[in-house]
Structure 1
Amino acid sequence: MKCYMVGGAVRDALLGVPVNDRDWVVVGATPEEMTRAGFVPVGRDFPVFLHPQTREEYALARTERKTAPGYHGFAFHADPGVTLEDDLARRDLTINAIAQDTNGTLVDPFGGRADLAAKRLRHVSPAFAEDPVRILRLARFAARWPEFSVAAETADLMRRMVASGEVDALVSERVWQELSRGLMEARPSRMFEVLRDCGALERLLPEVDRLWGVPQRADYHPEIDTGVHLMMVLDMSAQLNAPLPVRFACLGHDLGKGTTPAEILPRHLGHEERSVALVRDVCERWKVPVDCRELAELVAREHGNVHRCESFGAAALTRLLERCDALRRPARFDDALLACECDARGRGGLQAQPYPQRARLQRALALARAVDASAIAADAAARGLAGPAVGDAIHAARVEAVAAGLSAEDA
């Protein structure tokens, strides 16, 4: 039997980027031979083994046959007669269909090295159309390497896949897995541009797709177009190295603008609550994790108030902190502020602007959290207060502390 390193490890080495995980294909072996050699079987759907020392994955060379729509509709075939080229032919992109033997010799039957040099994302064979997840994977790679173009023939194939309804069979777990990984790439906007170009965005995230062409007030949004703004916000979140919940909150913060009645455009009165409802729809559809969902709902509801907070007095600031549950969850509130900063700076010509609202609210939160709520509650009880009256006393003390602290800083 012969072993070949394959896929992303070979590609990344050729690109000169760090290789974190290595995958291997084994040609000319049976599962029994692998087990006798000390490999540990772990594959559920096809023969995959862990190396006894390195614990890296070794898969028997295999072919696959489409049997039903969607991601799971495949039958796999692996035996000693399956060649390396047979195995590489089933892969998605030419840049992922390069192998390297244990002597360092490259095997590149589909021109992957040429496509790397040309910075081109191109499918290996028509079999690409059998797996709709590959559209999402390609879009994610475009976000990782924004200088790479999508080959014209591959773009055409993806449009045909969408038109045939193949994308509609995607399962929520795989969609979220690829979307979340794409959001964390260097330029997330490229993922959405690729999905939009082939029509997949309209099927998967119509709430996002409908934002293009929706106008906004030029005095707040020099870029005018809501879809363009959203892409700028996402790229700002990457520039600021934001974590996934923040990036997802950026994605959802303005969804309600896509449903603003035409008669009130370019104003978007009430878009915050519409955005919250649409964020919930997206999260339900694609089974978005709770931390991402909660932050996205919070940012969709309150980002306008955060932007306006410099004009707020102590009472309004304290109410905003309490609505955001900032006193109990300061770390989440800080994430919300970062998402709001991305929104404010994701605008035409305003990318370098400061965002003093973040520091103001962080300071107000520190002042409010310094109030000893237990002592105030005990004092209120001693005065015969109970229930909501105790909460009112704590709230009043926080307002007083915020007012005094900010006043002292302004003096």
Structure 2
Amino acid sequence: MKIYCVGGAVRDRLLGLPVQDHDWVVVGSTPEAMAARGFKPVGSDFPVFLHPETHEEYALARTERKTAAGYKGFNIYASPDVSLEQDLLRRDFTVNAIAEDADGNLIDPYGGQADLKAGVLRHVSEAFAEDPVRILRGARFAARFGFSFAPETLALMRKMVDNGEVDALVAERVWQELARGLMEQQPSRFFLTLRECGALKKILPEVDGLFGVPQPAHYHPEIDCGVHVMMVLDDTAKLERSLEVRFAALGHDLGKAATPQDTLPRHIGHEQRSVDLLKKLCARLRVPGECRDLALLVAQYHSHVHKVRELRADTLVKLFDHCDLWRKPERFGLILQTCESDAHGRTGHENDAYPQSRYMLECARAAQAVNAGDIARACADKSLIADQVRKARINAVDTFIKQHALSDRQ
């Protein structure tokens, strides 16, 4: 029995990056022999075991044969006679098909080290085309490392899309890879890769539809709606925002793709169209509630935040009510973070200050300072409590607005 470290751990060490976890391949063993050594079997699809002390995963060397459409349609063969080279051959990219033995020697039968140095993602074999998830993984690696694709690999990815292999992806796996792609260093590369191979139109047609749609150049020098959203995404990554913020950034302008042609480049009413499209997208991909709810609020109200200085006190309090500021103030902060990146996602405005966030927060604090409990106790007619609380909040925000305007004039 021989044990090798494989995959991401070897790749990241060669790139000089921190190694998060290890994957191990065991050659020349059986499930019975692994169990006798104290390894605990996990999963049912193929023989993987947990180390009795480190709890890291150890997989028996195996080969795979395609038997049906989709990423689950494989027949797994694991046996002591499967070689390390055969196991590495089934992997996605050459940079992930490098192994290291116990003495630190590298086994690299498919040229992964050369591709690492060149910054190239190249498929190991034609078996790449058997698993559509590999397109999503490749897009994620491009977003993480900034690597380009070998021409033959990009051509194969396009062929997979044309053959309908991507249509077999299930919602849960798409969301899993999408969430990971959003959290990479340059998330725009994830979506641009999918677009380049044609997969974005299949997986996220709402996002794909933004590219080529114009918007007013005086506010959006980048003009293209798709380019704008990619810039917004990369700003959220630069500012190390949460997954919820990054997903909200992705979906905030979806409605611009559905703007009537006779009104372009203006996008009147795109906020509600964005909400409608987001609801369908989130249902289709089964997006978690926290991501969905923030994205819907940002889509509906990002224009309000941008022009907050023009809003009346009653409009602001209505916005606070809809955003549930009173129970979820942290989420309101995430809305403002997304709006800030939206403002940064414009050519020449990447580093602009965004005073709207502070102003909006001060308006919110003025409204939050109203003591609803005191009002309720003093109100003889309990049916009027909600209306009196709302009026008190409007008055508090209005007072702040007037004081702020006065200080500006002085």
**TM-score band (shorter)?**
over 0.9
1:315 Cα deviation from its structure 2 partner = 2.5
- 1:192 is matched with 191
1:402 Cα deviation from its structure 2 partner = 2.0
Q: What is the correspondence of 1:230-379 to structure 2 with a 5 Å cutoff?
A: 230-379=229-378
1:74 equivalenced with 2:74 (yes/no): yes
Q: What is the correspondence of 1:47-66 to structure 2 with a 5 Å cutoff?
A: 47-66=47-66
> Percent identity, aligned pairs only?
60
1:404 Cα deviation from its structure 2 partner = 2.7
Structure 2: 5+ residue stretches without partners: none
Q: What residue identity is the alignment partner of 1:396?
A: K
Larger deviation: 321-330 or 207-216?
321-330
**What CA distance in whole angstroms lies between the structure 2 residues aligned with 1:316 and 1:170?**
43
**What CA distance in whole angstroms lies between the structure 1 residues aligned with 2:122 and 2:7?**
14
- 1:165 is matched with 164
1:386 equivalenced with 2:382 (yes/no): yes
Structure 1: 5+ residue stretches without partners: none
DSSP-derived class of the 1:219 partner = coil
- 1:95 is matched with 95
**What CA distance in whole angstroms lies between the structure 2 residues aligned with 1:261 and 1:312?**
27
**What CA distance in whole angstroms lies between the structure 1 residues aligned with 2:322 and 2:354?**
21
Q: What residue identity is the alignment partner of 1:42?
A: V
Indicate conservation of the 8 Å contact 1:249/1:296, yes or no: yes
**What CA distance in whole angstroms lies between the structure 1 residues aligned with 2:149 and 2:258?**
31
1:403 Cα deviation from its structure 2 partner = 2.6
**What CA distance in whole angstroms lies between the structure 1 residues aligned with 2:261 and 2:397?**
41
Larger deviation: 342-351 or 323-332?
323-332
Q: What is the correspondence of 1:38-49 to structure 2 with a 5 Å cutoff?
A: 38-49=38-49
1:67 Cα deviation from its structure 2 partner = 0.6
**What CA distance in whole angstroms lies between the structure 2 residues aligned with 1:90 and 1:266?**
48
**What CA deviation, in whole Å up to 9, does each residue of 1:35-85 have, x standing for no partner?**
111111113211111111111110000000101000111110101000000
For normalisation by structure 2, the TM-score amounts to 0.97
**What CA distance in whole angstroms lies between the structure 2 residues aligned with 1:293 and 1:319?**
21
Indicate conservation of the 8 Å contact 1:173/1:287, yes or no: yes
For normalisation by structure 1, the TM-score amounts to 0.97
Give runs of ≥4 in structure 1 deviating > 3 Å.
Answer: 405-411
DSSP-derived class of the 1:293 partner = helix
- 1:225 is matched with 224
DSSP-derived class of the 1:127 partner = helix
**What CA distance in whole angstroms lies between the structure 1 residues aligned with 2:55 and 2:152?**
38
Indicate conservation of the 8 Å contact 1:327/1:368, yes or no: no
1:4 equivalenced with 2:14 (yes/no): no
Aligned residue pairs: how many? 406
1:91 Cα deviation from its structure 2 partner = 0.3
Q: What residue identity is the alignment partner of 1:302?
A: Y
**What CA distance in whole angstroms lies between the structure 2 residues aligned with 1:222 and 1:320?**
29
Indicate conservation of the 8 Å contact 1:65/1:75, yes or no: yes
- 1:118 is matched with 118
- 2:135 is matched with 135
**What CA deviation, in whole Å up to 9, does each residue of 1:204-260 have, x standing for no partner?**
011110111100011211111101101101111111111001000000000000010
1:400 Cα deviation from its structure 2 partner = 1.7
DSSP-derived class of the 2:382 partner = coil
**What CA distance in whole angstroms lies between the structure 2 residues aligned with 1:213 and 1:118?**
32
1:406 Cα deviation from its structure 2 partner = 4.3
Aligned with 1:400 (options 381, 395, 404): 395
Q: What residue identity is the alignment partner of 1:191?
A: F
**What CA distance in whole angstroms lies between the structure 1 residues aligned with 2:332 and 2:94?**
43
**What CA distance in whole angstroms lies between the structure 1 residues aligned with 2:386 and 2:220?**
40
**What CA distance in whole angstroms lies between the structure 1 residues aligned with 2:327 and 2:54?**
44
Indicate conservation of the 8 Å contact 1:214/1:225, yes or no: yes
**What CA distance in whole angstroms lies between the structure 2 residues aligned with 1:124 and 1:369?**
58
- 2:150 is matched with 151
DSSP-derived class of the 2:347 partner = coil
DSSP-derived class of the 2:100 partner = strand
**What CA distance in whole angstroms lies between the structure 1 residues aligned with 2:153 and 2:42?**
33
DSSP-derived class of the 1:128 partner = helix
Indicate conservation of the 8 Å contact 1:314/1:403, yes or no: yes
**What CA distance in whole angstroms lies between the structure 2 residues aligned with 1:252 and 1:203?**
16
**What CA deviation, in whole Å up to 9, does each residue of 1:319-357 have, x standing for no partner?**
221221112211111101111111111001001111111
Q: What residue identity is the alignment partner of 1:135?
A: I
